[in-house]
Structures are given as C-alpha cells and as structure tokens.
A and B are shown apart, each in its own frame.
Chain A
Amino acid sequence: KAGVTQTPRYLIKTRGQQVTLSCSPISGHRSVSWYQQTPGQGLQFLFEYFSETQRNKGNFPGRFSGRQFSNSRSEMNVSTLELGDSALYLCASSYSSGRTYEQYFGPGTRLTVT
C-alpha cells in the first residue's frame, strides 16, 4: 500500500497570506488528523476528520480549518498567516479510532512564514 502523501513538501508564504495544504491518506483509512510540530511545542493536535466530519479539534484559533472529501483526502487551510505559524505540518491517517489508535504519518509540509 502507498503511504500517506502530503503536498506541497515545502512552502514559503508572507504574513497575512493564506495557505492550503493537502493530504492523501493510506487507501482504506477513513480518519485523517493534522498536527503542527515546532521545536518549542512539539507535536500539537489540530483536528481530526472521519468520514468527512470533523470529530475532534485541538486548541488552535479559527484561522486553522480543514475539510475531508468523500475519498478521504483532506485539506488544511490557514488564513491570515502569522510568523508563529512557521512549522512542520503533519497529516496522519488511521483505519479507525478504536482502542489502539495507530496513526501513520506523511512526510509533512514545511511552512515558512516571512
């Protein structure tokens, strides 16, 4: 099976702009989660989508939003970018959110805001 893919891998934006990141999960996986990773805060949960519905949400401002399509592909959008949004954005897919909750991560999108 192909792994989780994320596009683009690298992105440079300026403050105030918006950005959309894309994630294609492993075939058959219906859950997609997004994380922000920074050296200072580690991995922080943004949100999870399951069958096109947002099921869980982390503690991030409304500038961060996402959606999931019927083929389980997901997009994440960040509006009005701030310098502090510079981070590695990771997408993870999972078959189900049962007891084990194993997640498979993509390579990430490195976002730099200048």
Chain B
Amino acid sequence: TQLLEQSPQFLSIQEGENLTVYCNSSSVFSSLQWYRQEPGEGPVLLVTVVTGGEVKKLKRLTFQFGDARKDSSLHITAAQPGDTGLYLCAGAGGSYIPTFGRGTSLIVHP
C-alpha cells in the first residue's frame, strides 16, 4: 500500500505570511496531484506534476515534485483568507488507484 504523509496537519497564519506544505512517501509515483477542498464541497484540482524536479506555479502557489518522485511541496506566498481550506496531495502509481494524504488544514486570518 502506498502511503502519503502530509505535514503539517494544521496551519493557522495571518494574511501576508508565507507557508509550505509537504507531502512525503517512501513510494515512487508516476504523477502527483494537489487539491484544495473547502468545507462541504469536493476537492478542486490545483495542479498535476509528473516529472522529477518539476516546478509549477499557479499565481502565488508554487508546486514542486521531488527528484525521485517520492515527495512534493506546496509553497504559498503572501497568503490570503481566500487560500483557507484543506490541501490534499494524491499520488498515482502503477495500480492507477490514487492514494490521498490526510491533508493540511489551512486557516488564513485577515
């Protein structure tokens, strides 16, 4: 079973601060997705990373896939209250059954 560990589990910060969320595994993934989920709604796909070492930017969000394709990070610059939500990473391997991390719950205070 492929496991994804996300850290930190909870994060409470002030508007304007920077933060980084981590997603780690001992398994190699062919691709990894990041999602954001708001209360009472389904996760929304933010990005997919495929190549080891790949970096993708989505406005103030920067996503990185580890060289060995076992880990990933999400960095948010100058966080805003609208960034509040549950951030989930999901890795896909050979079985095509994606494995989800438990998520990082982020609260950005105005």
Contact = CB atoms under 8 A, between A and B. Distances in A.
Interface of A: 4, 35, 42-43, 45, 48, 55-56, 58, 90, 92, 97, 99-108, 110
Q: Is the interface of B mostly helix, strand, loop or mixed?
A: loop
Contacts of A100: 31, 33, 48, 50, 92
Given A101-B98, A105-B35, 18 more contacts: A4-B42, A42-B103, A43-B88, A45-B97, A48-B96, A55-B96, A99-B30, A99-B31, A100-B92, A102-B45, A102-B48, A103-B33, A103-B45, A103-B98, A105-B44, A107-B40, A108-B41, A110-B40
Contacts of B44: 105
Contacts of A4: 42
Contact of B42 (A45, A101, A108): A108
A97 B92 CA distance: 9
A45 B98 contact: yes
Nearest to B43: A105
A97 to B, nearest CB: 4
Given A99-B31, A100-B31, A102-B48, A42 B42 contact: no
Contacts of A43: 43, 88, 100
Interface of B: 30-31, 33, 35, 40-45, 48, 50, 88, 90, 92, 95-98, 100-103
A106 B95 CA distance: 23
Contacts of B95: 56
A4 B88 CA distance: 19
Tell which of A58, A97, A102, A110 has the most Cβ of chain B within 10 Å: A102
A101 B100 contact: no
Given A42-B100, A42-B102, A56-B97, A101 B92 contact: yes
B43 A101 contact: no
A8 to B, nearest CB: 14
